[in-house]
Amino acid sequence: MKTRLLLLALALSASSVALSQSTAHPAASLSPSSRDVSTPKAAGHADAPSEAQNLFNDVNDLIQQQYGGLSTVDRPALTAEYQLRLEAVCAPDPRSCAAEKAFPVLSAEVNALGDEHSFFETPEDFGDFVTSATGGNRLQFGVRLATLDGESRLVLDVIPGSASQDAGLMRGDVLKTIDGQPYTFAGLKAAKEAGKPTTLNLERLGQPVTVTLTSRESSSRDLPRLSYLPAPEGQSGQIALLRIPTFLSGGNVAQTVHDEVRAAQAKKAAGIIVDLRGNTGGDLSECDGSVSAFVPTFTRLAKLAQGSSRTVVRGGARLDDGRIRSSVQSPALWTGPLTVMVDSGSASCSEFFAYEMQYAKRATIIGEATAGVGNTATRVFPLGSGAGLQLTILNYTKPDGTPYPVRVKPDVSGSTDLTALSRGSDTLLSAAAQTIKTAPVLVAGNDTDTTTSN
């Protein structure tokens, strides 16, 4: 499975990728294919290279000049090997070789780089990525599903403003049939593409429910949202549950987090649980801004192919090498008890978020070990013919040289029992609520990362 630093959706399921508009220190950004960096072009193609050769050259320029990951593969040798493969594919008329001919060659080459976070994207996949990255509209039902009984049928999230929300689908619903036939995820995708009324029979808390919905073009934006749990025993104030489904919703994630934290403060919440389960990443600036609603300040170093940079995040503002790159308006700071839920689907920015909390001893991290994209960041380069390249461009350390971990290991182990969820019980959330009594709090007036436990 491709691990991405962004939410790349079939409009039904989630994968990951991060996107940042920062050019000096991006987690991943949309950036034109560089024409000012070059590697020697293949002999025999210097006069009039084909579309396929041009695309191959662009990708390999980027691999040679921009790659900042941890792969030890000999990249010049890799380019030479796959140049021969391209020539074989383009024979007998290499100068008229269409760009599409290079797609499988480039996909195989980037895979051979040995970096699971770098990959070549076909125009179709890249177009889907751009829609997700910018919060644009796409044809969708607007529901995220988990696998239960061998099919992706258990509703995890319903995207606000979507057809699924309008039809009344809810977290924990189990899809049973589609238009009178046994439910399959493939059938749901086909119904989405058809764009016609679709009848779903589902089970909700053991009771049958029937809904009819039609896929439609709707926004992929899925911003953080706040809800409340009953007050812990012996305490006043409800527990605020802050669900952050993605750090990539066309912007405004960090601002929404600060706004929701302020709402929880106004309601005198006894604690906050941040739910990052299934959050596959997003814009690192949005992630950093969100972290700053809970940690007063933090610093990291990024090691790139061209050198290194220093990022400091403080009071809702992110500074790269002393220059402000992003900020939120009227930043909030939660000083009360804090717990963060993660699972094996929490990737990239989710892992950065959880690690900054753990490093600062600011929160109890509960759940499963995360996906394993916690120490590098990628950049997404648009290419010719509508294709794209996601490439790892940097890796991170703390100022003292401590490398960021590949994955975050929770302080308290736990998991979400999907069968129990289908019956209305969120086992990990219940366990997280129990940790609020002893979760770390921020020392009042402290402008450092120091925290204490209740």
How do the domains of the chain map onto residue ranges? Answer: 138-219, 225-374+397-453
Contact 174, 152 (CB under 8 A): no
Q: Which long-range contacts (CB under 8 A, 24 or more apart) does 121-129 make?
A: 121/380, 121/387, 121/388, 121/389, 121/390, 122/387, 123/385, 123/386, 123/387, 125/8, 125/388, 126/382, 126/386, 126/387, 126/388, 127/386, 128/8, 128/9, 128/10, 129/6, 129/8, 129/17, 129/380, 129/388
How far apart are the C-alpha atoms of 343 and 409, rounded to whole Å?
Answer: 10
- How far apart are alpha carbons 380 and 118 in whole angstroms? 9
Q: d(Cα 53, Cα 87) in Å, to the nearest integer?
A: 9
The residues pairing with 216 across neighbouring beta strands, listed in sequence order, are: 140
**Residues of the chain falling short of pLDDT 50:** 1-45, 449-450
pLDDT at 452: 61
* Per CATH, domain 225-374+397-453 is 3.90.226.10: yes
The CA distance from 304 to 288, in Å, is 19
Q: What are the angstrom distances between the C-alpha of 341 and each of 37, 233, 259, 284?
A: 43, 21, 20, 19
Q: Among the CATH numbers 2.30.42.10, 2.40.30.10, 3.40.1260.10, 1.10.1740.10, which is that of 138-219?
A: 2.30.42.10
Is the distance from CB of 196 to CB of 214 less than 8 angstroms?
A: yes
Q: Model confidence over 110-130: pLDDT tens digits? A: 999 999 889 999 999 998 888
- pLDDT tens-place string over residues 162-172: 999 999 999 99
For the record, the structure tokens of 74 come out as 């000999």
Structure token pair of residue 444 = 């009042």
- Paired with 313 in beta bridges are 298, 318
- What pLDDT is attached to residue 32? 32
Asked whether the beta carbons of 27 and 378 are under 8 A apart, the reply is: yes
Neighbour tally for 136: CB within 10 Å:
13
- In angstroms, the CA 242 to CA 332 distance is 14
Q: How far is the C-alpha of 330 from the C-alpha of 79, rounded, in Å?
A: 49
| Distance between CA atoms of residues 35 and 58, nearest Å | 7
User: What's the CA gap between 240 and 268, in Å, rounded?
Assistant: 9
Tokens 């009594």 belong to residue = 437
Distances (CA, A) of 25 to 92, 179, 309: 43, 49, 7
Q: Are strands 412-413 and 388-397 parallel, antiparallel or unpaired?
A: unpaired
CA distances from 187 to 144, 148, 195, 218 (A): 15, 16, 12, 20
